[in-house]
Structure 1
Amino acid sequence: MSGELQVHGLGKAYRVWGSEWLRMASLFGLPARPRDEHWVLRNVFFSISAGESVGIIGQNGAGKSTLLKMITGTTQPSEGSVRRSGRIAAILELGMGFNPDLSGRENAYHAAGLMGYSQAEIEEMMPHIESFAEIGEYFDQPIRTYSSGMQMRVAFSVATAERPDMLIVDEALSVGDAYFVHKSFQRIRDYRESGTTLLIVSHDAAAIQSMCDRAILLDNGGVVLDGEPQQVLDYYNALIAERENKTLRTERRDDKIVTESGTGEAQFESLQMLDDQGRPAEYLLVGQKATLRARVRIDDEVPRLVFGYMLRDRLGQAIYGTNTHYTDQPMAALKRGDRVEFDVGFEVNLGPGTYSVSVALSSSESHLVKNYQWKDLALVFTVANADKPNFIGTAFIPSVIRINRIERSAALDA
Structure 2
Amino acid sequence: MGSITVTNLGKAYKQYPARSSRLREWLLPFQGPQHKLKWILQDINFHVAPGEAVGLIGINGAGKSTLLKLITGTTQPTTGSVYMEGKVAALLELGMGFHPDFTGRQNVYMAGQLLGMSVDEITALMPEIEAFAEVGEYMDQPVRVYSSGMQMRVAFSVATARRPDILIVDEALSVGDTYFQHKSFERIRQYRRAGTTLLLVSHDKQAIQSVCDRAILLDGGRLSREGPPEEIMDYYNALIADRENSNLQLLSRDDGKVQVVSGTGEATVSHIALLDENEQPVEVIDVGSTVTLQVTVLAKAHIPRMVLGYMIKDRLGQPMYGTNTDLQQLPLSDVQPGEANVYRFRFNANLGAGTYSVATAIVSTETHLVNNYEWRDLALVFTVVNMRRPYFEGSAWIEPTIEISRAPA
Q: Shared topology, TM-score over 0.5?
A: yes
Q: 5 Å matches for 1:187-198?
A: 187-198=187-198
Is 1:387 paired with 2:373?
A: no
AA at the equivalent of 2:131: S
Tell me the equivalent position of 2:7: 8
Is the CA contact 1:152–1:175 (under 8 Å) kept in the aligned structure 2? yes
Bigger drift between 75-84 and 192-201 goes to 75-84
SS at match of 1:19: helix
SS at match of 1:149: helix
Is the CA contact 1:63–1:221 (under 8 Å) kept in the aligned structure 2? yes
Residues of 1 paired with 2:28 and 2:346: CA distance?
70
Is the CA contact 1:272–1:280 (under 8 Å) kept in the aligned structure 2? yes
Is the CA contact 1:301–1:336 (under 8 Å) kept in the aligned structure 2? yes
Q: 5 Å matches for 1:163-312?
A: 163-245=163-245, 247-253=247-253, 254-312=255-313
Write out per-residue CA displacement over residues 117-161 of structure 1, whole angstroms, 9 at most, x where no aligned residue: 122212212221112111111001110000001000000000000
Tell me the equivalent position of 2:357: 356
SS at match of 1:105: helix
Residues of 1 paired with 2:243 and 2:283: CA distance?
35
Instruction: Classify 1:32/1:44 alpha carbon distance in 2 versus 1 (closer, same or farther; 3 Å).
Output: farther
Cα deviation for residue 252 of structure 1 reads 2.4
Cα deviation for residue 323 of structure 1 reads 1.0
Is the CA contact 1:10–1:43 (under 8 Å) kept in the aligned structure 2? yes
Residues of 1 paired with 2:155 and 2:247: CA distance?
43
SS at match of 2:164: coil
Q: 5 Å matches for 1:81-120?
A: 81-120=81-120
Write out per-residue CA displacement over residues 223-255 of structure 1, whole angstroms, 9 at most, x where no aligned residue: 111000000000011111111335111022222
Tell me the equivalent position of 1:127: 127
User: Structure 2 stretches of 5 or more lacking a match?
Assistant: none
AA at the equivalent of 1:139: M
Instruction: Classify 1:222/1:336 alpha carbon distance in 2 versus 1 (closer, same or farther; 3 Å).
Output: same
Residues of 1 paired with 2:324 and 2:46: CA distance?
38
Is 1:330 paired with 2:331?
A: yes
Is 1:152 paired with 2:134?
A: no
Is the CA contact 1:241–1:369 (under 8 Å) kept in the aligned structure 2? no
Cα deviation for residue 24 of structure 1 reads 9.5
SS at match of 1:240: helix
Residues of 2 paired with 1:344 and 1:34: CA distance?
65
Residues of 1 paired with 2:113 and 2:24: CA distance?
36
Instruction: Classify 1:161/1:31 alpha carbon distance in 2 versus 1 (closer, same or farther; 3 Å).
Output: farther
AA at the equivalent of 1:46: F
SS at match of 1:368: coil
Is the CA contact 1:240–1:368 (under 8 Å) kept in the aligned structure 2? no
AA at the equivalent of 1:267: T
Cα deviation for residue 405 of structure 1 reads 2.0
SS at match of 1:328: coil
Is the CA contact 1:264–1:372 (under 8 Å) kept in the aligned structure 2? yes
Instruction: Classify 1:31/1:204 alpha carbon distance in 2 versus 1 (closer, same or farther; 3 Å).
Output: farther
Tell me the equivalent position of 2:378: 377
AA at the equivalent of 1:19: R
Residues of 2 paired with 1:231 and 1:6: CA distance?
23
Cα deviation for residue 97 of structure 1 reads 1.1
Cα deviation for residue 34 of structure 1 reads 4.7
Tell me the equivalent position of 1:138: 138
Instruction: Classify 1:332/1:85 alpha carbon distance in 2 versus 1 (closer, same or farther; 3 Å).
Output: same
AA at the equivalent of 2:364: S
Residues of 2 paired with 1:279 and 1:381: CA distance?
14
Is the CA contact 2:53–2:214 (under 8 Å) kept in the aligned structure 1? yes
Instruction: Classify 1:33/1:322 alpha carbon distance in 2 versus 1 (closer, same or farther; 3 Å).
Output: farther
Cα deviation for residue 390 of structure 1 reads 1.2
Instruction: Classify 1:104/1:278 alpha carbon distance in 2 versus 1 (closer, same or farther; 3 Å).
Output: same
Write out per-residue CA displacement over residues 322-376 of structure 1, whole angstroms, 9 at most, x where no aligned residue: 1112112111111112111111111100001111101111122222332211111
Residues of 2 paired with 1:21 and 1:214: CA distance?
48
User: Structure 1 stretches of 5 or more lacking a match?
Assistant: 409-414
Residues of 1 paired with 2:394 and 2:28: CA distance?
62
Is the CA contact 2:22–2:34 (under 8 Å) kept in the aligned structure 1? no
Residues of 2 paired with 1:322 and 1:188: CA distance?
32
Is 1:19 paired with 2:18?
A: no
Instruction: Classify 1:24/1:406 alpha carbon distance in 2 versus 1 (closer, same or farther; 3 Å).
Output: farther
Write out per-residue CA displacement over residues 167-224 of structure 1, whole angstroms, 9 at most, x where no aligned residue: 0111111111121111111110100000000100111111111100000011111111
SS at match of 2:38: strand
Cα deviation for residue 99 of structure 1 reads 0.7
Task: Give the TM-score, by structure 2 length.
Answer: 0.95
SS at match of 1:123: helix
Task: Give the TM-score, by structure 1 length.
Answer: 0.94
Cα deviation for residue 37 of structure 1 reads 3.1
Q: 5 Å matches for 1:390-405?
A: 390-405=391-406
Root-mean-square deviation (Å):
1.7
Is the CA contact 1:15–1:34 (under 8 Å) kept in the aligned structure 2? no
AA at the equivalent of 1:105: R
Tell me the equivalent position of 1:411: none
**Count of paired positions:** 404
Residues of 2 paired with 1:369 and 1:7: CA distance?
40
SS at match of 2:247: coil
Residues of 1 paired with 2:28 and 2:189: CA distance?
47
AA at the equivalent of 1:161: A
Is the CA contact 2:5–2:83 (under 8 Å) kept in the aligned structure 1? yes
Is the CA contact 1:266–1:299 (under 8 Å) kept in the aligned structure 2? yes
Residues of 2 paired with 1:154 and 1:148: CA distance?
10
Is the CA contact 2:267–2:298 (under 8 Å) kept in the aligned structure 1? yes
Instruction: Classify 1:380/1:31 alpha carbon distance in 2 versus 1 (closer, same or farther; 3 Å).
Output: farther
Is the CA contact 2:285–2:384 (under 8 Å) kept in the aligned structure 1? yes
